[in-house]
């Protein structure tokens, strides 16, 4: 194992599983803290702010981190729009974890002529919101999709994720969105920059081959697939491109010493 100087870490399926703790996940975070190695939780979930995620980690899983260690697709969207510098006017389909952060970052709500239309997961989405987004993109607004996840696994089964909502707007506008979240380059590049490191110095840790591991493979970042969540052990031999490392539990990973 290489001694990585920073860790990018997925949350659900890696550090906890739905509402259940993953004890090895908690120990892994504590090891990183003890070794004073910088890490960032990189999550496609835009519905919760970093503060809410950190609070949940503390209250439900006894994992104590500052909100600054949580980098959501909402933050990456904001960082992208700031860099892209097209303007400050936005229309957003999303929940508080997306909308509040965008407005707090200095963007202004505009349903008529926004510079950006951002589409993320919104459990209160309505036809009228899709109408507003569609018309604004047709008038020239830049179309951003927060994350490509088509489904969210729940106790009830696979329910529609942000990617499904984004697809509707894509169909209605015949316009391809700019995707921000894993496995896209934008969130990974911004996350590495947040750590103040280079791609070669960090490793992406996650349970989902399609998002976490692809995010590393597509962007020149080493990857650690942990078989505690989404991707089953049976799928490993036939993966199109192997992760740098595959382990059953994060307890098997030795933090650089
Ligand atoms: Mg996961």
CATH code linked to domain 6-44+182-252: 3.40.50.1000
Contact status, residue 93 vs residue 77, Cβ threshold 8 Å: no
Of the pLDDT bands very low, low, confident and very high (cuts 50, 70, 90), residue 2 is confident
Distance 209 CA to ligand 1 centre (A): 9
Mean pLDDT of 43-67: 97
Q: Do domains 6-44+182-252 and 88-179 have the same CATH topology?
A: yes
Q: How many A from CA of 181 to the centre of ligand 1?
A: 13
CA of 130 to the centre of ligand 1 (A): 28
State whether residue 27 is helix, strand or coil: helix
Is the pLDDT at 45 greater than 90? The verdict is yes
Q: Please state the domain extents for the chain.
A: 6-44+182-252, 88-179
**DSSP per-residue letters across 62-104:** -----GGGEEEHHHHHHHHHHHH-S-SEEEEES-HHHHHHHHH
| Distance in angstroms (rounded) separating the CA atoms of residues 64 and 45 | 19
Would you say residue 256 has pLDDT above 80? no
Residue 46, pLDDT > 90, answer: yes
Assigned CATH class of 88-179: alpha beta
Cα(214) to centroid of ligand 1, in Å? 12
Query: Which residues are within 8 A (CB) of 109 and not within 5 positions of it... i.e. 6 or more apart?
Result: 89, 90, 91, 92, 103
Q: How far is ligand 1, taken at its centre, from the CA of residue 193, in Å?
A: 22
Question: Ligand 1 centroid vs 211 CA: distance in angstroms?
Answer: 8
Rounded CA separation 170/253 (Å): 41
Is the confidence at residue 183, as pLDDT, over 80?
yes
Mean of the per-residue pLDDT values of the chain: 96
pLDDT-based confidence at residue 16 (cuts at 50, 70, 90): very high
Residue 257 has pLDDT above 80, yes or no: no
Question: What is the spatial distance between Cα 43 and Cα 10, in angstroms, rounded to a whole number?
Answer: 6
Centre of ligand 1 from the C-alpha of residue 9, in Å: 9
Position 135 pLDDT exceeds 60: yes
Across the range 233-240, mean pLDDT stands at 96
Identify whether the C-beta of residue 44 lies closer than 8 Å to the C-beta of residue 180: no
Asked if 134 and 172 count as a contact pair (C-beta separation under 8 A), the reply is yes
Q: What is the distance in A from the centroid of ligand 1 to the CA of 90?
A: 29
How many A from CA of 111 to the centre of ligand 1? 34
Q: Which of 137, 170, 166 has its CA nearest to residue 73?
A: 166
Average pLDDT over residues 113-118: 98
Q: What is the pLDDT of residue 11?
A: 96
Query: pLDDT-derived band of residue 47, with 50, 70 and 90 as boundaries?
Result: very high
> pLDDT > 70: what percent of the chain?
99
Rg of the Cα trace of the chain? Answer: 18
Instruction: Output DSSP code: residue 255.
Output: P
Alpha carbon distance 216, 171 (integer Å):
29
Kindly tell me if the per-residue pLDDT of 223 is higher than 80.
yes
The residue that leads in pLDDT, 225 or 158, is: 225
10 Cα to the center of ligand 1, angstroms: 5
């Amino acid at each position: 194992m290489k001694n990585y100087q920073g860790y990018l870490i997925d949350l659900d399926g890696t550090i906890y599983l739905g509402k259940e703790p993953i004890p090895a996940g908690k120990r892994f975070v504590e090891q990183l803290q003890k070794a004073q190695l910088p890490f960032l939780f990189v999550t496609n979930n835009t519905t919760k702010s970093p503060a809410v995620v950190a609070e949940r980690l503390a209250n439900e899983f006894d994992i104590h981190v500052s909100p600054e260690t949580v980098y959501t697709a909402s933050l990456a969207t904001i960082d992208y729009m700031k860099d892209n510098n097209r303007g400050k006017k936005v229309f957003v389909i999303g929940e508080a974890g997306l909308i509040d952060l965008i407005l707090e970052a200095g963007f202004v709500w505009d349903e008529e002529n926004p510079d950006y239309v951002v589409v993320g997961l919104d459990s209160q989405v309505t036809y009228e919101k899709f109408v507003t987004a569609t018309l604004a993109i047709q008038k020239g607004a830049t179309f951003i999709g927060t994350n490509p996840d088509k489904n969210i696994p729940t106790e009830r089964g696979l329910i529609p994720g942000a990617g499904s909502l984004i697809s509707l707007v894509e169909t209605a506008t015949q316009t391809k969105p700019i995707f921000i979240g894993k496995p896209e380059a934008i969130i990974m590049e911004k996350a590495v920059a947040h750590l103040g490191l280079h791609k070669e110095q960090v490793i992406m840790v996650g349970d989902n081959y399609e998002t976490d591991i692809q995010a590393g493979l597509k962007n020149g970042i080493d990857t650690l697939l942990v078989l505690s969540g989404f991707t089953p052990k049976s799928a490993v031999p036939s993966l199109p491109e192997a992760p740098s490392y595959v382990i059953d539990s994060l307890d098997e990973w030795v933090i650089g010493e």
